Amino acid sequence: MVAAYAYTQDKLFIGGEWVAPLDGEVVPSIDPSTGAHWALAAFGGKRDVDRAVEAAGAAMRGPWGRMPVAERAALMRKLGGLLEANAERIAELETRDNGRPLRETRLNITAEAQWYYYFAGLADKLDGRMMQINPALIAYTTRVPVGVVGAIVPWNAPTLVTTMKLAPALAAGCAMVIKVAEHTPVTTYELARLVEQAGFPKGVVNVVPGWGHVAGAHLAGHPGVDKLSFTGEHRTAQEIMRAGAANLKRVSFECGGKSPHIVFEDADLEQAANAVAHAGFMACGQSCALGSRILVARPLYAKLVDEVGARAAKLRVGNPLEATTHIGPQTHKDQLEKTLRYIDIGKSEGARLVAGGVRLTDAGRDKGYFVSPTVFADVKPEMRIAQEEIFGPVVSMIPFDSEEHALEIANGVNYGLTAGLWTRDLGRAHRFSSQLRAGTVWVNTYRIIHPAVPYGGFKISGIGRENGPEAIDEYTEPRATMINLEGKYPYPYA
C-alpha cells in the first residue's frame, strides 16, 4: 500500500530523532491538481507535542543554550547552503503538496537560503545599551532568547513561512517546535532533514505536523512554550491568543490581507497593468499580500479594466509542475469552495464579471481544484468581495476620483498588511504612502519580501514583524542589569 505513494514519511522529527507518533496518525496528503492521495505523512498528537516541547526545552538548557554565537551562525549558514543545494527537489515536493506553480516554489525556496545567511550575520550583533544613571550606578541591557517557540504555519508557502520564523529564532538562540498545516506537511520534513544534516544539536528544531485543533491547539496552550509565532487567519490567531493566555505567552501573528493596489492617473499604464495582474493572481491567489483590490483613477479605469481582463484571460491554468503553467489549483477543496462561493457573492452583489468566474474542469482538470483567474469591475468598496479576504484568484477593480477618495477606500477595510501604488509623482508617492494603514507599501513595484526588510500588519493583519532586525526583537527579551559601583545601601528605616 505504501509503495503507491510518491512520498512517505511516517515519523516525526523530535529531539533530533525520527520517531513514530505516540498518539498521532499517518495521514494521506492530497495533490490538489488531481485530487488524489500522493503522499503519506506522520501527524503528531498531544503526547507528541509534549515530547517536542520537552526536547526543545532540554536543548535550551543544554549545548544549544551554551553554544558560542559564531558556532550558532555557522550552523545557520550551513543550513542555508543545504537548502540551496536541495532547492529544486524541495520545490517540486512543495508544488505537489500545495499546487503552487513550480516556477514560483523554485524562486521561493532558492531565496529562503538568504534568510539563514542574513540572520546568521545578525546573530553576533544582538547588542544592548549601557547607561550611567549616576556616578555610582550603571545599567546595561542584554538580549536573552525568549525560550521555546511554537511555530504554527499555513499551507500556502510552508517552507518560506517556516523559514521566516526559524532563521531569526535560531539567531536569537531559541529552540522551536514547528506545526505545519495539515494540507502541506511534506516539505517541512525535508527541512528537518537538512537541519539534521547541518548538525544542529538535538531538540533545537522539532517538526510535528498535525491537525490544527489537535496538535496546533495543544501547542498554543502548552505551558512549556514561551512564545507562539503564528501565520494564518486572524480568527485562528484569536483562538491561539486565548489558549496562550494561561502563561501569558508572547505572540507574533502574521494574518490575512485585503491589499489595495492603487493606480494614479500619471502611472505608466503598461507597467501598472503588468503589476496589478501579477499581484492579483500570484500563488494561485493564495497569498496574504495579494493585491486583491485594484483602485484606479477614473480617467484610466476603463482602459485598465480591459488590460487586466485580457491578461487574466490569457493566463495558463493547469498542472503546476509544468514550466508553462502560470496558475495552479487551489490548495484544498475547502479553499476551492470558498473561492467559488465568493465569486457567486460578487455576482449577486452586482459587480460586473470581466474575466473568469468558473471552476475549470476540462483538459484533464476535472479532479483538481482549478479556478479561472477572475476579474470583477465596478465593485463598490463596501461589497463583501472588496472587504473580505477570499484567498483565491479573484480581484476587484474600483474607480476613484481623487487622492482623498483613494485613501479612504484603501484604508476602509479591517486589514492592513500591504499596499501598492503606481505614480510618477514623487511627492504623491511619499505623501500617500505615509497615510496608508499598512505594514508595507510598495511604490512602482509589488511583493518584494526580503530578509532585511520588516514585514507584518496593522489592524487584524497581525501583531509584530518578521524579517529585518525587528524580527530579532520578537525572539528575545531585553534584560536590564543595574550595578551599584560603591556597594553602599543606607538603611531607609534607620
Closest distance of CB 157 from ligand NAD, Å: 6
Is 288 an annotated catalytic residue? yes
Closest distance of CB 215 from ligand NAD, Å: 8
- Contact between 150 and ligand NAD by CB under 6 A: the answer reads no
Closest distance of CB 5 from ligand NAD, Å: 22
- Contact between 220 and ligand NAD by CB under 6 A: the answer reads yes
Q: Mask: binding to ligand NAD, 178-207, rule CB under 6 A, as x and -? A: -x-xx-------------------------
Segment interacting with ligand NAD (CB under 6 A) among 64-72, 97-105, 155-163, 397-405: 155-163
- Contact between 24 and ligand NAD by CB under 6 A: the answer reads no
- Contact between 240 and ligand NAD by CB under 6 A: the answer reads yes
* Catalytic residue chosen out of the listed positions 94, 255, 288, 474: 288
DSSP-derived 3-state class of residue 278: helix
- Contact between 151 and ligand NAD by CB under 6 A: the answer reads no
Between the CA of residue 167 and those of 162, 164, 331, what are the distances in Å? 8, 6, 26
Q: Is the dihedral of CA 369, 373, 377, 383 positive or negative?
A: positive
* Catalytic residue chosen out of the listed positions 254, 307, 389, 474: 254
What is the pairing mode between strands 137-145 and 12-14? unpaired
Q: Does residue 295 contact residue 260 with C-beta atoms inside 8 Å?
A: yes
Q: Which of 213, 303, 424, 479 binds ligand NAD (CB under 6 A)?
A: 213
Segment interacting with ligand NAD (CB under 6 A) among 253-261, 307-315, 426-434, 475-483: 253-261
- Contact between 403 and ligand NAD by CB under 6 A: the answer reads no
- Contact between 217 and ligand NAD by CB under 6 A: the answer reads yes
- Contact between 175 and ligand NAD by CB under 6 A: the answer reads no
DSSP-derived 3-state class of residue 304: helix
DSSP-derived 3-state class of residue 274: helix
Closest distance of CB 297 from ligand NAD, Å: 27
- Contact between 236 and ligand NAD by CB under 6 A: the answer reads yes
The full 3-state SS of 139-157, as one line of letters, equals: EEEEEEECCEEEEEECCCC
- Contact between 27 and ligand NAD by CB under 6 A: the answer reads no
DSSP-derived 3-state class of residue 234: helix
- Contact between 212 and ligand NAD by CB under 6 A: the answer reads yes
- Contact between 280 and ligand NAD by CB under 6 A: the answer reads no
Per rule CB under 6 A, count of chain residues that contact ligand NAD = 29
Q: Which of 80, 101, 216, 291 binds ligand NAD (CB under 6 A)?
A: 216
Identify which of residues 307 and 389 has a Cβ nearer to ligand NAD in the complex. Answer: 389
- Contact between 115 and ligand NAD by CB under 6 A: the answer reads no
Identify which of residues 82 and 371 has a Cβ nearer to ligand NAD in the complex. Answer: 371
- Contact between 112 and ligand NAD by CB under 6 A: the answer reads no
Amino acid at 345: I
Identify which of residues 163 and 372 has a Cβ nearer to ligand NAD in the complex. Answer: 163
Closest distance of CB 474 from ligand NAD, Å: 13
- Contact between 154 and ligand NAD by CB under 6 A: the answer reads yes
Cell digits of residue 103: 516556477
- Contact between 152 and ligand NAD by CB under 6 A: the answer reads yes
- Contact between 145 and ligand NAD by CB under 6 A: the answer reads no
Closest distance of CB 130 from ligand NAD, Å: 35
Sites for ligand NAD among residues 371-400 (CB under 6 A): 389, 391
Distance of CA 273 to the CA centre of its chain: 26
Active site residue ranges? 254, 288
Which residues sit at the interface with ligand NAD, rule CB under 6 A? Answer: 152-156, 161, 179, 181-182, 212-213, 216-217, 220, 231-233, 236, 239-240, 254-257, 288, 389, 391, 417, 462
